[in-house]
Amino acid sequence: MVTLKKNIAISDSGFVFNPSNGDSFSLNQIGLDMLLQLKDARSEEELKAVILSKYDIDKDTLDSDYYDFLKMLGQFKLLEVS
Amino acid sequence: MKRTITIAVTGLNAIDSPGPGVPVIRALRESKEFDVRIIGLSYETLEPGIYMHDLVDKSYQIPFPKSGQEVLFQRLAYIDSVEDIDLIFPNFDAELFNFIKLAPRLEKELNIKTFLPTVEQFEARHKVNLSEYGKKHGIDVPHSKMIFSTSEIPSIPSEFTYPVVVKGQFYDASIAYNAEQVATYFHKISAKWGLPVIIQQFIYGTEVNLIALGDGKGGTVGMVPMRKTYITDKGKAWAGVALDDDDLLNAGRKLIAATNWRGGLELEYIKSSDDKYYLLEINPRFPAWVYLAVGCGQNLPEQWVKLALGENPTFYDTYSVGKMFIRYSWDMIVDLKEFETISTLGEL
């Protein structure tokens, strides 16, 4: 299962800090919501259910954006496989 | 009650490629145990620290390292006769050898203490010896070799894969992607820093640095890892952030334990894309970003003072991750009279 690395710091404003390499990022609200779900080790289905209930978005678009987002998080070394 | 102590500090050149003196003094001023009187030791009359009277109580010019140890000793003896110095805190690579060699005499004849690497530690970690150093202590170091002439450049591809880093023996480094660029940098660097010039395998990755203080018995008094987040065109950190990186800390502790490092140091590593650490350089003194460690909760210069006095230091095992430093420039307005005084009398 893919989750966010445990030491990643996330602020309420969407500012993300990786203390392992000093990288920092700014997220919009939907990105922040997705990252918080990943941090809580929610499954893919649970995460998507939360996003679908909160935002006006269709499932196909979410599926596509979800994988793009996950790929990006992986490239930025923010994820770990548990 | 704080103990009063007089400390002479070098490295007052708080310029675009800054010496560590001013941040070291700032750290000492914040000591909870010592009430410090600071004597600045400068090489040039325009080192900004000379004119920072809230940090430096009195400044004296000292002879350049090439003048030799005896000339330096005589100058220090004069300054000590006026100021009654307790400790000397050197901060420049180029001056360290003289201070290391003079240390026993300074203590015996002038009762001035210090806490520096041994000559063996100082020489072994030199850039030209780093490859051997890595092999001896089981530390990953990018392959490197010394070259003394451009006639050696055509043979580089037999040992290295371009790009390579062309380095001066004391300072300067440029990345070369072909033999022509190596030749250009060879001439430029050797003209400034002499021979040999060092060819080092370029490693793709992220540069990370460690500041640390070794107690001389293999123990690490404190250590903070940092990544530069803003780099000047001279490759100096203008901003940086304290990292949480256990692998890097362990690599640093291992090196200090293996070498019984004595004094402050900065370790420069490159973290490769497969998360392997390669040691690029060991600087045998605190770096100019030393105050970040203080900001993170480790006053390493203060503990250095305790070690120099022969006392037990406080060993730090935590620091604040995510603290940042951001350097800035500041124009001081100085009366010509002050410049005249340091220029003509050699003290201010």
CATH at residue B73: 3.40.50.20
Q: Assess if residue B90 is contained within a domain.
A: yes
Of A60, A48, A51, which Cα lies nearest the Cα of A28? A51
The answer on pLDDT for B228 being more than 90 is yes
B109 vs B283: CA distance, rounded Å: 29
Domain that holds residue B194: 143-201
Helix axes B246-259, B130-137, angle to 10 degrees: 90
Residue/partner pairs of B168-177 with CB below 8 Å, 24 or more apart: B168/B192, B168/B193, B168/B194, B168/B197, B168/B198, B169/B126, B169/B127, B169/B128, B169/B193, B169/B194, B169/B195, B169/B196, B169/B197, B169/B198, B170/B93, B170/B94, B170/B127, B173/B235, B175/B202
Rounded to whole angstroms, how far apart are CA atoms B58 and B62?
Answer: 13
CB B174 within 8 A of CB B185: yes
- Report CA-CA distances (Å) from B112 to A57, B73, B77, B91, B107: 73, 11, 10, 16, 5
pLDDT of B334 over the 80 cut:
yes
| Closest residue, chain A, to B208 (C-alpha) | A21
Inter-chain residue contact A9 with B227, CB threshold 8 Å: no
Query: What pTM was estimated for this model as a whole?
Result: 0.89
Share of chain B above pLDDT 70, in %: 100
The residue segments making up the domain with residue A65 are 2-81
- Other CB atoms within 10 A of residue B335 CB: 9
* Predicted pLDDT of residue B139: 86
| Amino acid at residue number B254 | K
Residue type, B293: A
pLDDT of residue B124: 84
Cα(B212)–Cα(B214) distance, rounded to whole angstroms?
7
- pLDDT 10s digits, B37-76: 999 999 999 999 999 999 999 999 999 999 999 999 999 9
The CATH number linked to B172 is 3.30.1490.20
Best residue of A16, A17, A20 to probe chain B, by most B CBs closer than 10 Å: A20
Q: Using a CB-CB distance cutoff of 8 angstroms, which residues of chain B are in contact with residue A22?
A: 226-227, 229, 240-241, 243
Last residue of a domain, one of B168, B201, B234: B201
Residue pointed to by tokens 């145990």: B33
Question: Given this model, what pLDDT does residue B195 score?
Answer: 87
What is the number of structural domains in chain A? 1
